[in-house]
Structures are given as C-alpha cells and as structure tokens.
Structure 1
Amino acid sequence: MEIINRESRAYVTWTLLIITIGVFIIETLSGGSQNYQTLLLMGAKTNDLVQVGQWWRLITPIFLHIGIFHIFMNGFTLLYVGQILEPMVGHWRFFLIYMLSGIMGNLASFAFGANNAISAGASTSLFGMFAAFLALGVIYRENRFLRELGKSFLGLIAINLLMDLTMSGIDIWGHVGGAIGGLFLGYALGLPKISRPKMIFRILAIVVVVVISYYMYVKGMIVYG
C-alpha cells in the first residue's frame, strides 16, 4: 500500500499558514493581537455573540491568534504536521479535516466553555490533525508506519490535554472537540485510492460528526439563550 505521494506538495498547508500570518499582521496593525476589541472586531468567538446569530465566529477564530507566542507555536505545528498529513490524505481531504475539526472544536467550546471567555486560535484544527493520524492508524493497522504514527499522536493528544488541565486560559473543550472531529473525519475520508474503510462505515462516521455538531450547537443555544 502506497502511503505518501512523494511528488505531492503541501499547498494547502502553506496557504493556510500564509493566510494565518496575514491575519495576524492585520490584527497587529489594527490595535494589537491581544486587544480585546480588535479580536472581537476580527471574529474571535464569544458564546454570547454566537448565540445572537453571529455563527461565523465558529469559523473565523481558526485564523486568529492572541500574541506572538500563540501564532508561533500554532504556525510551526501547522507547518510541521501539515507537511506530513497533507501528502498522505490529499489536498481536499486535508482542508476538510483542518477546517471542520476547527469548527467542531469551536462548537464544543460554545456548548461547554465559559460564556464570557474570548476564544481564538488554530489549536482546534491542530488537534483534529493529530486525531486524523490516530484514525489512519486504526484503519490501516497492518501498516506499521501508520500504526506507530497513530500511537505517537495519541500520546501527543493525551499529554496536551493533561497540560490543559494545569494551565489557565486554555480552552480545553475546543481541543477535545477538535480531536473528536479529526478522529471521525479521518476515519470517514481515509487515504485516497484505497477502498477502506467500507462506505457504510464512512457514512456512519459522517453522520456521527453531523449529529455531535448539531447537539453541541443546540446545547450552546439553550444554555446561553
């Protein structure tokens, strides 16, 4: 089984990184990336604003960052991990995993997070990328490379979530939601040109993503409505 197309380039990874850096520059020039009003103006998530109908705040936070250290760590992780994952799964699969995991992470934050907290960052999407490796390791467990890669990223997810519990100002629900999204999306999409998993299981994984997302949105609207 061919795992990586060596001729493929991580075009989507680089595009997402460039957009993220561009947005950070705009943040900085518009009042500062740690300025509350600037973050709100550019689309950071607060639950009360999502509740009144500003649904785009479940998407825009993926590209916003709070401070130089925040964007440096997330940007480096996106570049490093994306250049491994994107050539494996292909450009459009990678884009879907990145974006939809990020949205699911923001939905989890909306449903279970603090009402007045401001939320921004690509870490929801990054946890989705980590969990996608875990899904691939499960689907193609006879492949030692993917199996070991899945174990490594499972360990990385666990360590990061444990660290989240000991640190203030970290949106752990966003990370959990992103990881759940990446796990099921990775299972649903699999690797290109390989007819595994079976279509019925792919469809079930997509249904799970939709049901969980809808539940979190409704829960957020009920709690904060």
Structure 2
Amino acid sequence: MSARTSAPSWRPANSSGRSLWLAIAGLSPPAIGDSHTGLRLMGDVLSLARRRPFTSAVILLIVAVYVVEIAQSRPAFWLEGKGDLPDIAALGVVWTPAIGDGEWWRLITASSLHAGLLHIALNCYALVVIGGAAEARFRWWRTAVIFLVAAVGGNIAAAAIQPGAASLGASGGVMGLAGAVVVGAVWSGEGLARSQWVIGAIIATVAFGFINPGISNAAHIGGLIAGGAVSLPLGLTARLRRTQRPAPAPKTQARGTAPGRATATGMNPRQVEFQRRIDAAMAKARAEREEDARRASSGE
C-alpha cells in the first residue's frame, strides 16, 4: 500500500517494473565465472556511451543523485527503500502538498530519485533496453524531449491520482520512451512485429503495478500516454526530414575498371586491381589467338 506522508515509516510508491523487464526483453546477464566478463561489460558501457549519449547521460545522472541520497538518508532507505519521509523528501520526491505550495520542481527532480538498490538497478536496465531502442529511432535530442515530457507527465498523474503518497523513480519517463517506440513503429509503417517485446514490457509493467500497491501505476500510465503523444510530432518531423534529404551522389568509378564494376560488386581496391590484371591478361591472350588464326588463314 502507498504510505501516507504522516506515516512514521515511509515506503515510496516507486514506479519500477521490477524484474519483468529482464524476462520480457529476453536478455540474460553474462556468466559470472567468465574471466572476460569485466572486459566485455566495460566495452559494452563504452559502446553504449558512444552510440546512445542521452541514455548514458541519464544513467550517470541518476547514479550520481543516488550517491547524494545515500549521504542524505539512512542505510535502511538506500538499501531497501525503507526509511522516514524527512530523510529523502527534501531532495524532491513527488508530494502533492509540497507541489501545491509552489514546489513544482518536484515534478522533474522526482524522476532522478530512487528507493533502494533494486529500484535504481532495474530502472537503469530498463533505460539501457528501452532508452536505447528509442534513441536509435528518434536520435538523442528527440529522445531527451520525450523522456522529459513523459517523466513530468507521469509525475503530474501521480500527484493528481495519489495526493497522499510520495512517489519517485525514472520509469515514468521510461514508459514514455516505450510508448514512443510503439507509436514510432506504427507511424513509420513498419508495423508492430519488431516492437512486440516493448508492448509485452508495457503490459507486464502495468499489470504488475495493479497487483503491487507499492508501485505508482499512475506514474507509469501517465508517462506512457505523455511519451506516446509527444512522439507523434517528433516522429513526423523526423520522417519529413528523411523524405526531404537529397539522394546521395553516385560513387565514382575506380580507374582502370570496367564500368560499374567497383560499385556493383562491392570489391575493395586490391580486388579491383587484381580483376583489372586478369581482364588485361585475358584480352591479350584473346588478341594473340585472333592474330594466330588470321595468319593461319592467310597462309603466312
């Protein structure tokens, strides 16, 4: 049950999808006993940072904020999500009475706060999976807009529907990214075949929220709707830009090759040179045979 602000022991209505993200995504962690696991993980992190800059930046942000949470709260909170409200409320959780007093910034800051190690770990994983898919489709700046709008929209929904409970977590924004991925798949005409796992994650997260009173489904659904809605105009601008982009200039023909050989066959320069020599040798042999035949017919 979502705790009220007057309760001495406070457990936030977090918006995490729990371990169902792992099952729905169909991904498994690397083997613990593999001696190369650490190197592979480091390589994966660096690759993610290069290819998905926004997703990486958000993960770094919420981890940094979590370090501040550890310093500001009791160990029971940052280990298990259990503690007193004053320990963490000042950092900016969604709390309707405080928002009503003008602390509107809580609608933004709450998405960077997390209740316990499991909460932040699962939301970071969800960001890697869902955020990576969204950033691949919408590019980093559109993904940033979608995430921010979805996070604020989810927090507004949580404040309006659960006015007596505090709420925090990034998964309202993550749900918005999931909604954007689905909307983008439909809008682009590619259909839902490649996005079925995202739809499954959405359904599982919402369903789990209904059976677990400690999860803010209002933040989930509000973020999902807000993210899907804002992705429509952003997806339209991306599609128009792709259709208006000029066609690339044709590649130049490699010197000494037959017309279109280098581009049509996709050969590298060494292969092109090797093929040129073969063609020259065959042409020379053909010319010699024709010359021999001409001499034989003329009786020379």
Normalising to structure 1: TM-score of the pair? 0.77
**Kept after mapping to 1: 8 A contact 2:175/2:223:** yes
**Kept after mapping to 1: 8 A contact 2:94/2:106:** yes
Corresponding residue for residue 49 of structure 1: 98
CA distance in 2, matches of 1:30, 1:116: 23
Structure 2 stretches lacking a partner, 5+ long: 1-49, 242-300
Pairwise CA distance, 1:118: 1.1
CA distance in 2, matches of 1:133, 1:174: 18
**Kept after mapping to 2: 8 A contact 1:138/1:150:** no
What is the DSSP-based 3-state SS (H/G/I as helix, E as strand, rest coil) of the residue aligned with 1:55?
A: coil
CA distance in 1, matches of 2:181, 2:132: 13
Superposition map of 1:166-181 within 5 A: 166-181=211-226
Query: Out of 167, 176, 180, which is 1:132 matched to?
Result: 180
**Kept after mapping to 1: 8 A contact 2:130/2:198:** no
Corresponding residue for residue 20 of structure 1: 62
**Kept after mapping to 2: 8 A contact 1:78/1:126:** yes
CA distance in 1, matches of 2:209, 2:86: 26
Identical-pair percentage: 26
Structure 1 stretches lacking a partner, 5+ long: 1-7, 197-225
Structure with the greater alpha carbon radius of gyration: 2
Corresponding residue for residue 64 of structure 1: 113
**Kept after mapping to 2: 8 A contact 1:136/1:150:** no
Residue 95 in 1 paired to residue 144 in 2?
yes
Pairwise CA distance, 1:164: 0.8
**Kept after mapping to 2: 8 A contact 1:45/1:119:** yes
Pairwise CA distance, 1:155: 2.6
Query: Out of 71, 75, 81, which is 1:29 matched to?
Result: 71
**Kept after mapping to 2: 8 A contact 1:137/1:151:** no
CA distance in 1, matches of 2:92, 2:206: 25
- Residue-by-residue CA offset, 1:137-193 (whole Å, 9 max, x unaligned): 22122x25xx22344322321221111111121111111100001111111211664
Give the residue type in structure 1 aligned to 2:235: G
Residue 148 in 1 paired to residue 193 in 2?
yes
CA distance in 1, matches of 2:159, 2:153: 10
Pairwise CA distance, 1:49: 0.6
What is the DSSP-based 3-state SS (H/G/I as helix, E as strand, rest coil) of the residue aligned with 1:42?
A: coil
Normalising to structure 2: TM-score of the pair? 0.59
**Kept after mapping to 2: 8 A contact 1:44/1:61:** yes
Residue 118 in 1 paired to residue 190 in 2?
no
Give the residue type in structure 1 aligned to 2:62: T
What is the DSSP-based 3-state SS (H/G/I as helix, E as strand, rest coil) of the residue aligned with 1:117?
A: coil
Which 10-residue stretch deviates more, 30-39 or 64-73? 30-39
What is the DSSP-based 3-state SS (H/G/I as helix, E as strand, rest coil) of the residue aligned with 2:231?
A: helix
What is the DSSP-based 3-state SS (H/G/I as helix, E as strand, rest coil) of the residue aligned with 1:195?
A: helix
Give the residue type in structure 1 aligned to 2:239: I
Give the residue type in structure 2 aligned to 1:18: L
- Residue-by-residue CA offset, 1:108-145 (whole Å, 9 max, x unaligned): 111111x221111001001101100111122122x25x
Superposition map of 1:208-223 within 5 A: none
Which structure has greater helix proportion?
1
Query: Out of 103, 109, 132, which is 1:83 matched to?
Result: 132
- Residue-by-residue CA offset, 1:16-70 (whole Å, 9 max, x unaligned): 1001000001101222434422321110111111111110011101100000000
Pairwise CA distance, 1:104: 0.1
